[in-house]
Amino acid sequence: MLKYRDIAIGLQEIPNEVSLVINIANCPFKCKGCNTKHLWEDSGELLSYENLEMLIDSTIQDITCVLFMGGDVAPDEINELAAYIRNHYPDLKIGWYSGGETITVFTEYQNFDYLKFGPFIKKLGPLSSPKTNQRLYKVEGGVLRNITRLLW
């Protein structure tokens, strides 16, 4: 089961959203220059449905989106958690920041409103850099629309 290390309220990760950012432990990519190396370790609290509800319920007045940061060790679990949110909190948007290279992790995207793909490459910069290799997509009717430029 996935573990999370900590949470934050994010204003910049997803355009026009206030996100509950859930930082998932045990990142398999270990990108050079990573600024969240504490997420490389397999430690933290289990991200059960009960813990997910507790995190959302404690921030629901302040957020419009739930954003999973990581979770690439178990993408099916991320998808299941997203489906749970979709069913229990239908007004919230759902995003996933993956360090994976491709967008073929899921055959269907209906549980997500936003998907970010690509490892961090220091010389190309983060999503806020026009040179970045990372891409942020908005999911609209099962189609991925690249919205990375909105972060520049």
The pLDDT tens digits of the residues spanning 106-122 come to: 656 789 999 999 999 99
The reported pLDDT for the residue numbered 107 is 54
User: In the beta sheet, which residues pair with residue 68?
Assistant: 22, 96
| Structure confidence by residue, pLDDT tens digits, 53-109 | 999 999 999 999 999 999 999 999 999 999 999 999 999 999 999 998 876 556 567
The residue extents of the domains of the chain are 3-151
* HEC sequence for 55-80: HHHCCCCCCCEEEEECCCCCHHHHHH
Say which CATH class 3-151 falls into. alpha beta
Helices assigned H by DSSP within the chain: 49-57, 75-88
Give the mean pLDDT of 131-152. Answer: 94
